[in-house]
């Protein structure tokens, strides 16, 4: 059974995800984390309840987005700053991350099928076991030649 602080945190996360995008943004402003505006778009499900709990646990100490296991599928996340974002095991299938800043992002075991990363900054990214079938990249700002080759072999598409 969950202890009371964890139950309260879970309840707060569920309440947040039940709000409209405008109400969510106001809550993020009150917590001082409105820079994570993308949280106004995510779906209400178990994966995202856990994600929101991590954001709410200690918002004043929040430096980098921990999106481990989050469900960001189908979202428009263009131009978002996800520097040092942890997307391990996250579902980004069909999402758009055009011109997003993904420096030092970790996509280990993430699902990026049919995602669009055109123009994204990808320096020092990790792709271990990430699903990238039909994931779109431009030449990949910041990707090494080896990363591009590896991603192509796993089904990623690169345009000029």
CB neighbours (10 Å) of residue 115?
A: 31
Q: What pTM does this model have?
A: 0.92
Name the nearest CA neighbour of 31 among 58, 70, 2: 58
Measured distance CA(120)–CA(141) in Å, rounded:
6
Question: Per-domain residue ranges for the chain?
Answer: 1-62, 65-160
Average pLDDT score over the chain: 94
Dihedral (Cα; 116, 45, 87, 77), 10-degree rounding: 40
Taking only the tens place, the pLDDT of each residue in 125-135 is: 999 999 999 99
Question: Tell me: the pLDDT tens digits for 24-67?
Answer: 999 999 999 999 999 999 999 999 999 999 999 988 888 899 99
Measured distance CA(51)–CA(45) in Å, rounded: 10
Tell me the per-residue pLDDT of 81-98, one tens digit each, with 9 for 90 and over.
999 999 999 999 999 999
């Amino acid at each position: 059974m969950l202890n009371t602080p964890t139950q309260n945190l879970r309840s707060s996360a569920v309440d947040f995800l039940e709000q409209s995008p405008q109400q969510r943004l106001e809550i993020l402003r009150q917590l001082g984390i409105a820079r994570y505006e993308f949280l106004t778009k995510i779906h209400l499900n178990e994966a995202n309840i856990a994600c929101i709990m991590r954001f709410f646990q200690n918002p004043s100490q929040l430096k980098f987005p921990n999106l481990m296991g989050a469900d960001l599928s189908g979202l428009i996340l263009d131009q978002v700053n996800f520097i040092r974002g942890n997307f391990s095991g996250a579902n980004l299938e069909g999402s758009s991350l055009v011109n997003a800043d993904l420096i030092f992002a970790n996509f280990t075991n993430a699902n990026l099928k049919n995602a669009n990363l055109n123009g994204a900054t990808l320096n020092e990214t990790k792709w271990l076991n990430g699903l990238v079938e039909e994931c779109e990249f431009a030449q990949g700002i910041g990707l090494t030649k080896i990363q591009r080759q590896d991603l192509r072999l796993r089904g990623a598409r690169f345009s000029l």
